[in-house]
Structure 1
Amino acid sequence: MAHLSVRKDSESSLASTEHKDHKPGKVKHFFKGIMPTLSKLSKAFLLPIALLPIAGVFLGVGAAIANAADSQTALWYFGTVLNKMGDVCFGNLPILFTMSVAMAYTKDAGVAALTAVVGFLVMNGMQAALLGVGTPDQYGNPTWTLLFHKDIPNGLITSNIGVNSLNTGVFAGIFVGAIAAGVYNKFHKTQLPQAISFFSGTKLVPIITFFAVIPLSFIFMILWPWIGKGLATFGTESGKLPMGLDSFVFEIAERSLVPFGLHHVFYAPLWWTNAGGSISQTFNNANDVWSADLNAMFNGIKGTQWLTNWIGSHSEWASTYSVTLDQTGWNNLYQSISNNPSKDVQDLWAAMGDQTMMAKTLANLKVINFTDLQDLGLNLGRFQSGKFGFMLLGLPMAALAMWLTVPKQNRKQVMGIYISAAFTCFLTGITEPIEYTFLFLAPWLFYGVHMPLAAVSFLLAGMLHTHVSMTVSGGFIDYIVFGVIPYFSGAVSGSDGWLSMFGVLFVSVGMGPIYFFAFYFAVKYGKVMVPGRDTSTDGADAKLFTKDDYKAQHGQNRDGSPLESNSYTSSKSAVETARYDKAAKIIHFLGGQTNVVDVDACASRLRVTVKDSSIVNKDGIMSLGGSTGALIRGTSVQVIYGGEQEAIKPRMIEILSIQRKQAKMGVSAVSNSNTPIASTTPSLKVMLVDENMMVDCPKCGEKFQVELINDHMKQKSVTKKPTAKKIVAKKETTKPVVKKAVAKPVAKKETTKPVAKKTAAKPVDAHKESADFLKNVEAKYKKELAAKKPVKSADKNMSSAQRAKVDGSDSITEARSELQKHANQLRKVAKDRKIKVKNVNLRDMTKKELITYMQTIANTINSAK
C-alpha cells in the first residue's frame, strides 16, 4: 500500500502568514481560487451539452419526417414521436443545468442532484403562488403581475416542468444547483442529536436546501423582470450590428477563453437565455413598428411582402387562422402564436437563446421558419454557424500544413497522428488535438493566427445570413443533421434560402486554403517544433498535445487549480479527526478496502457488502463504540448505530476512494488539498489527501496527477526499449574489455540475484508464513494452551464471547483478525493441495479455538507430505 506524505501544519501556517498582510497576495489568491470555480462551472455545462447531439438528431430527423408526411398518418406519427423525444431535452435545459451544476461541485453526488431538483421546484412553486394575471396589453396579449411588478410581458413567463414561473433560461438553474452543492458539501456529514438523528447526513441536505432557495426565489422575483427585459433588449439590439459584426465579436471572445476552459460559461447565456434573442421579443418589436407606421410597413418587406412570403410557406396555418394580406391578417397571425393553447407553440413563443430558438423553430416549421424570422430582424445561428467554416476544412488544412513542415524522413512516422486529428475535426468538430498542439508549443499561433481566422469565419457566416445550428461543434455530422435535413424540411424559404444552409460550405472552402498557407509559413518560418519536426529523433514517439498537457505546462490541474497548492492544511477539529479515524478503523476491521464492495446506510444501520465475511472482525467494530449490535449474513454486514451511520458512511466512501486510487497506482502520493482521508492502519494519524494528489513516477521520479500517471508510464516503457537495445549492442562491440574489467562485478551481480529473490519473497509462501506465525503463538501461549478448560455440554449454546471467558481466550492478546487471516491461509493451502479439513465458521470460534483449529490443519498438511 502506498504511503501518504503530508506537509506539516507549521509549513502551511507559515505560508499563510506570509501573505496575511499583503493585498497583492490576496488578489493573487482570489484569482487562483476563482479559476477552478469557473472551470468547474464550465465542466458542469458539459453534461447537458453532451445530451444535445442525440437530442438534436431526433429533433431534426423527426421534424423532417413529420413535415414531409400527411397529417395523422403512420409516418407522421413516427416523425412526431422522434421530434418530441429530442424537443423535450431542449425544453428542459434549466432543470438539466440545475442537476449538472450540483453534481459538478460535489464529485457527482446523486443526492446533490436530487436536492437541486427539490430546490428548483420550491423556487418556481413560490413564484407561481405569487404570480397574478395583469391587464392585457394593446395587442391583447396577457401580462402578469409579481410582487410590485406590473404588466410583465408574456414572454418572460413560461412553464418550468409544469409550473408557471419566470422564464430565466438556464440562469436560475445554475444558481439553484450551486446552492444545492454548497449545502451538500457543508452538511452531508452532519451528525444531529440522537433524538432527531434520523435526519442526519444526506437526509439533512434537501431539508436545508428547501429553506435556502427561499431568499433566492425572492431575489429573482425582484430583479429578473428588469434583468430579463435588459437581456432581451441586448439580444435584439446586438442583432442589428451590420455585416455580421456581432458574430465576429462573439468568436473573438469565445475562442480567447478556450485555453482556460471558460468558453462554455461565455456562450451559455447567448445560446440558452434571451441575451441571444427572443422569439416573443422579435414579434413584439415587429408589432410595435407596424402599429406606429402602418402605411410604411405595408410598402416594405415587413408588410404585405412579408405576409405574402409567409403565407406561401405556411398556407395551412394561414388558412386555419385567417391570415390575410392586411393589418387584420397580421393581427390574426400574431395572436395565433402568442396566445395559442398548444404546448408546442407556447414553447416556441417563449423560446430564447440562439440554440434554443433554432431547436424550437425546427420543431414548429408549420408556424415559422428561419427565413421568416430573418426578415423580422432575428438572424438565428449567428453564434453557431461560423464554426463550420474553420472546423470542416480550416483546422484540418492547418493539420495538413503542419505535417508538410515535418522533414521528409519523418513524415511517414507522424502521418497517422495528423491525418486522424484532421479527420476527427472534419467529422465531429472536435478540435482539441490540433488546437492544443500549437497552443502548447506556440501560443502566438493560437492567438495571432487561429483566433482571428476563426472570427473571420463567423463574420462571413453572419454576412451570408447562414442558419445552421449545431450541438457542440461544427463537424460534418452536425452539418447533415442541422443543415442538409432542415433545408429539405422547409426550414428556409425564398429564392436565396439555399444560401442560408449551404453558405457555410462556401465559407469553409474559402477558409481552408487560408488556414493552410497561414499555418505552413507560420510554422516553417516561425520555427515551431510541431510533432515530427525534431530531426534528432525518428518521430516514432511524436504525439499531438491535449488540454491536460497544456494545463500541466501552466502548473494547473484539469479544473484550473494549481498543481502544488500552498493552501494545504491539516488543521481539523478533534471531533472531525476522530470521525475519520473511526471510519478508517471500521474499514480495517471489515478486512480492508480490498474486501469492501459497497457502503450504504438506512435509518439506523450501516450496511456494508463485503467479498469475504469470514475475515470481518465484528468484535473490533463493536469495540469502537456507538453501535448497539452487528449482524453478518452471507456477504452483508449490518452495524446498528441508530443515527451515527449517516456520519460514518460518507467518510468511509471518501477513504475507500483514495485508498483504491493509491492501490491502483502503487506509488507514493503527495497531497495538495484539504480533503480529509484516513490511513489504512487505524493506529496511524489521520491524514488529508484529495483527488488531485500528485504521484511519483517509479521510473523517472517526476510528479504527475493520478489520472495522468498511467499514460506517462506507458510512454516511459515504450521509450526505454530502444535505449536498452543500444546499450546491449555497445556491450557486444566491446567484448574484450567487458571480459577483463567486468568479470568480477558480473559475478557479484549473479550472487546478489538470489538475495534479491529472497528479500522480494512475494507475500512469502502462505504456508510458511502462517506456520511461522503459529509456532510463535504456540511458544508465546504455551501455558494457556496447555491449561485446557473444556466447555461443559450444558454450555454448548454459549456465544463465542462467553466461551472465551471460560477457555482462557481473554488472555491471548493477538488480534482476532490476524488469527482468522492465518487460519484462512492454512485452510486455503490445504484446499490447494486437495487435503480435506473441517470447514467451520471462524467468526464463531474463540481465539483459543482458532489456534487449536490452526494446529489441526497444520498437522494434517504436514502428515500429508
Structure 2
Amino acid sequence: MFKKIQAKLQTFAGAMMVPIILLVMVGFFVGIGSAFTNYILEPGGFFYNIFSMLASCGFFFMNTLSMWFAVAIAFTLAKKEKGWAAFAGLVLFFTYTAGIGNWASLNGVTQETIAIENLMASGMTMEAAMNYNALFGDFLGIFTYNMGMFSGLIVGLVAALVHNKFVDTKLPEMFGFFAGTKTVIIMVTILSVPLAIITYYVWPFIGGALQAITTFIGESGLLGTFVFGTLDKALLPFGLHHLIAFPIEYSKVGGTMTIDGVVYEGVKNIINGQAASKTATGYITRNFTNGRLLFQLGGIPGAALAMYKCANKENRKAVASLLLPAVFTLMMVGISEPFEYTFLFAAPQLYWLVYAPLCGICYVLAEITKISINGTALFFMIPNLFQPQKVHAMSALWLIPLMFVVYYAVFRFMIVKFDLQTPGRGEAQVHLFSKKEYREKDGANTVSTAEDSLEARIIEALGGPENIETVTNCATRLRVTVKDDSIVASDDDWKNYLKAVGVVRGDKSLQIIYGVQVQNITTKVKDILNID
C-alpha cells in the first residue's frame, strides 16, 4: 500500500515540475526587464519598450501560474492523447474558476459584499473580516476564490483522472463524433459544476488551514526554517520534495507581501515582485531558498573533496571524473541529484543523518545572517548583476568557505570512522562498464545489448516495449510506469551499465536519475516506442 501511494505521489510531484521553465523565465524576464526599465533606460525609447514587454511577460506567467499548473499536470498525468488532456485541463480550469464565482454571486457573495468595511458593518471583527476577504481574488477578470497554485493542482489532477477514464469511450454511431477525446471535454465541463459548488463550501476551511500553517511557519522562526530545509533534502530520494517546496515558494503558505500596492504570495513570487519594484531596497531574508546558496556553492563541493580524498589512490582519477561534472552542474544550475545519488545508495545513513540536517543548518545560517539574493545557482543569479543594490549577501563570502570546510570535515570523518562505501572505496564501483564487460558478466541477461543506443538498452531494461505503460521526465529523472516491475533490471544494472545515477522504485513505477540530459533521453525513448 505504501509503495502504491508513494508511486502516485511521485508521479504527481513530477508533474508539478513541468511548468518549471515558466518559473525560470519569470525570474529572468522580471529581474532583467525591470532593471533596465527602472534604473538604466529612459521611458519611451525602443529598447525601453522591449524590456518593458519582457517584464510584462514575466508578470503574466507569474499571475497566471495556477492555469499553467492545470495544463501541465493534466498533460503529464495523461496516459495517451496528451494534447487533448492539456486542452481538457484548460477548459476545466476556466469553467471551474468561473463556476466558483457564479455560485458565490448566487449566494450573495460579490466583490462589494466582501469588502472589509462591509463585512465589519455586518458584525465581523477586523481580523475575521480581513481573513474572509483574503479568501477571494480575481483571475483574468473573473471573481473567484484566491486559491493560488492549488486551483491548478486540483484542476490538473481531476482533468487527468477524467481524461484517462473516458479517453477510450465508444458511443453509438449516430453520436460517434462525441466519442473518445470529445467525451473528455464534455465530461470535464459537466464536472466543473459540482466541483465548483463543493469547492465553494470546502475551500474556506482549507484556506483557514493554510492561513494557520502560514502563521505557524511565521511564528516558528528558525525551527521552521530548519525543518523545511531538512525535509526538502530528506524527501528528495522519494521524489516528493516538490510537495513541500512548491507551496512555500509559490503560495501563501510561504507568506504574503504587499509591494507597490500588489499582494504577492510565496517567497519566489515575492522576490520577483521586489525585483520589479523601484522602491524595494532588497529581497526578503526569510525566503527558504537562500540556504541553498551555502551548500550548493560551498558545502557539496567540500563533501565531494572528502569523497575524493577518502577514495583509494588508484581510484581517485575515476572518482574525480565522476564528481567534477556533478559538482559543476550543481553550481551552475542547482541540480544536486547527480552528486547526491553518488553516495545515497552506498551510504544512506550519511545522507539522512548527516547531509540532510547539514543542509537544514545552511538554511538557518542564511536567515540568521540575513542573506538576501535572487537565485541560488550561478546561472539563475545573473539578474542580480543588473540590480546589485538589492543584494545583501556579504555574509555569504565567509559562510560559503566555512560550509566547504564543515562539509569536508564531517564527511571525511564519517566516511573513515564508519568505513562507508562511497565511490572509490573498497568494492564500490566508480566507472561505467563497457559493453564487453557487461556481456562477460555472469547472469547479467536482463539488459539486451542488441542495440548500440543507450535508449534502446533502457527500453530492454524496462522489460521491453510491451511492458512499458507511460514515459515522462522531470528536470533530472526519467519517470516510467510498467505493467510488471519484476522483470525490470536491477538497481546495480541501471547504475553500472545504463549510465544512471540512481533509481527510485514505487509500485510498478520507476524514477531513473540521469541528470540534466534526461530530456534528450526521454525524447529518444519515446521516438523508439512511438509514444506521442
Report TM bin, short chain: 0.7 to 0.9
What corresponds to 2:266 in structure 1? Answer: 353
> RMSD of the TM alignment (CA)?
3.6
Distance 1:433 1:666 in 2: 21
Change (3 A) 1:167 1:663: closer
Aligned to 2:33: 62
CA deviations 1:335-364 (Å, max 9, x no partner) are x82xxxxxxxxxx32x2111122222322x
Could you say which residue in structure 2 is the equivalent of 1:99? 71
Q: Are 1:695 and 1:709, in contact at CA under 8 Å, matched by a contact in 2?
A: no
Amino acid paired to 1:356: N
Match of 1:394, as an amino acid?
A: G
1:167-206 CA deviation, whole Å, 9 max, x = no partner? Answer: 1011111111111111111111111112211100111101
Q: 1:139 to 1:195 in 2, by over 3 A?
A: closer
Does structure 2 conserve the Cα–Cα contact (< 8 Å) formed by 1:427 and 1:476?
yes
Matched, 1:526 2:311: no
Larger radius of gyration: 1
1:478-524 CA deviation, whole Å, 9 max, x = no partner? 2333x444433xx3xxxxxx5x3343443322211100111112112
Note the 1:139-150 alignment, pairs <5 A: none
Equivalent residue, structure 2, for 1:213: 192
Distance verdict in 2 for CA 1:465–1:525, change over 3 Å: same
Report SS of the residue matched to 1:171: helix
Please state whether the residue corresponding to 1:159 is helix, strand or coil.
strand
Q: Is 2:112 the counterpart of 1:125?
A: no
Over residues 621-661 of structure 1, what are the superposed CA-to-partner deviations in whole Å (9 max), with x where a residue is unaligned?
A: xxxxxxxxxxxxxxxxxxxxxxxxxxxxxxxxxxxxxxx98
| 2:402 matched residue in structure 1 | 510
Q: 1:345 corresponds to which residue?
A: none
SS at match of 1:409: helix
Distance in 2 separating the partners of 1:151 and 1:459: 31
CA pair 224-438 structure 1, distance change in 2 beyond 3 A: same
Structure 1 residue 227: Cα displacement: 3.0
- Note the residue ranges of structure 1 that are not aligned, 5 or more in a row: 1-28, 284-335, 338-347, 372-378, 492-497, 544-659, 676-689, 697-701, 716-865
Which residue of 343, 366, 382 maps to 2:278? Answer: 366
Matching residue of 1:476: 378
Aligned residue type for 1:358: I
User: Could you say which residue in structure 2 is the equivalent of 1:78?
Assistant: 50
**Deviation for aligned residue 1:449:** 1.1
The amino acid that maps onto 2:220 is L
Partners of 1:362 and 1:713 in 2: CA distance: 43
Aligned to 1:199: 178
Shift of 1:710: 11
Distance 1:664 1:137 in 2: 59
Is the Cα–Cα contact under 8 Å of residues 100 and 199 in structure 2 kept in the other structure? Answer: no
1:441-840 to structure 2, matched below 5 A, reads 441-470=346-375, 474-481=376-383, 483-488=384-389, 491=390, 500-534=392-426, 541=432, 665=460, 669=464, 692=482, 703-704=488-489, 712=497
**Which residue number corresponds to residue 395 of structure 1?**
300
**Higher relative contact order structure (alpha carbons within 8 Å, sequence separation ≥ 6):** 2
Q: Measure, in 2, the Cα distance between the counterparts of 1:416 and 1:532.
A: 11
Give the 3 Å change call, closer, same or farther, for CA 58–395 of structure 1 in structure 2. Answer: same
SS at match of 2:185: helix
CA distance in 1, matches of 2:67, 2:460: 38
| CA displacement at 1:237 relative to structure 2 | 4.8
Distance (Å, rounded) in 1 between the aligned partners of 2:494 and 2:115 = 64
Whether the aligned pair in 1 keeps the contact of 2:333 and 2:377 (CA below 8 Å) is yes
User: Counterpart amino acid of 2:401?
Assistant: V
Q: Is the contact between residue 102 and residue 181 of structure 1 (CA under 8 Å) also seen in structure 2?
A: yes
- Code of the residue aligned with 1:191 in structure 2: it is K
Residues 159, 74 of structure 1: alpha-carbon distance in 2 compared, 3 angstrom cutoff? same
1:440-463: CA deviations, max 9, x gaps? 101110111111110110001111
Instruction: Give the letter aligned to residue 102 of structure 1.
Output: A
Q: Is the 8 A contact 1:382 1:466 kept in 2?
A: no
Given that 1:396 and 1:421 are in contact with CA atoms closer than 8 Å, whether structure 2 keeps it comes out as: no
> SS of 1:265's equivalent?
helix
Aligned to 1:174: 153
Is the Cα–Cα contact under 8 Å of residues 294 and 362 in structure 2 kept in the other structure? yes
Amino acid at match of 1:158: G
Please name the residue that 2:21 is paired with: 50
Question: What's the secondary structure of 2:232's corresponding residue?
Answer: helix
CA contact (8 A) 2:116 2:129 kept: no
1:206-252 deviation digits (Å, cap 9, x = unpaired): 1001111222212221132343244235324522334x332112112
Q: Helix, strand or coil: the match of 2:489?
A: strand
Q: 1:662 to 1:245 in 2, by over 3 A?
A: closer
* Closer/same/farther in 2, CA of residues 150 and 55 from structure 1, 3 Å limit: closer
Structure 2: which 5+ runs fail to align? 435-454, 471-479, 501-532
Counterpart-to-counterpart distance in 2, 1:663 and 1:521: 37
Amino acid at match of 1:95: M
SS in 1 for 2:265: coil
CA 1:249–1:213 in structure 2 vs 1: closer, same or farther (change >3 Å)?
Answer: same
1:222 to 181, 197, 201: 201
Is this contact kept in 2: 1:157–1:164, CA < 8 A?
yes
Q: Is the 8 A contact 2:10 2:239 kept in 1?
A: yes
SS at structure 2 position matched to 1:189: coil
Which residue, out of 149, 156, 161, partners 2:135? 156
TM-score by length of 2: 0.77
Identity of aligned residues (%): 28
- Offset at residue 273 of structure 1 (A): 1.5
Inter-partner Cα distance in structure 1 for 2:309 and 2:268: 38
CA gap 1:37/1:693 in 2 versus in 1, 3 angstroms:
closer
Q: Partner of 1:361: helix, strand, or coil? A: helix
Alpha-carbon shift at residue 663 of structure 1 (Å): 12
Secondary structure of 1:279's partner? strand
Give CA-to-partner distance per residue, 1:233-282, whole Å, 9 cap, x none: 5324522334x3321121122221111010101122211211111225xx
- Residue 480 of structure 1 aligns with an amino acid whose one-letter code is I
Deviates more, 1:73-82 or 1:177-186: 73-82
Aligned to 1:12: none
Contact 1:399 1:421 in 2 (8 A): no
Q: Distance in 2 between matches of 1:220 and 1:380?
A: 34
SS in structure 1 opposite 2:421? coil
Instruction: Summarize the Cα distance change of 1:388–1:161 in structure 2 as closer, same or farther, 3 Å threshold.
Output: same
Quote how far apart the aligned CAs of 1:102 are: 1.0
Counterparts of 1:534 and 1:80, CA distance in 2? 58
TM-score scaled by length of structure 1: 0.48
Q: How many residues align?
A: 458
1:124 partner letter: T
Question: Within 2, Cα distance between the matches of 1:501 and 1:88?
Answer: 29
Distance 1:663 1:276, change over 3 A: closer
* Shift in Å, 1:107: 3.3
Partners of 1:228 and 1:274 within 8 A in 2: no
1:421 aligned partner: 326
Residues 1:408 and 2:293 aligned together: no
Using a 3 Å threshold, how does the CA distance of structure 1 residues 466 and 229 change in structure 2: closer, same or farther?
A: farther
Paired AA for residue 272 in structure 2: A
Cα deviation, residue 142, structure 1:
12
- 8 Å contact kept, 1:54–1:86: yes
> 1:710-755, CA deviations, whole angstroms, 9 ceiling, x for partnerless residues?
983689xxxxxxxxxxxxxxxxxxxxxxxxxxxxxxxxxxxxxxxx
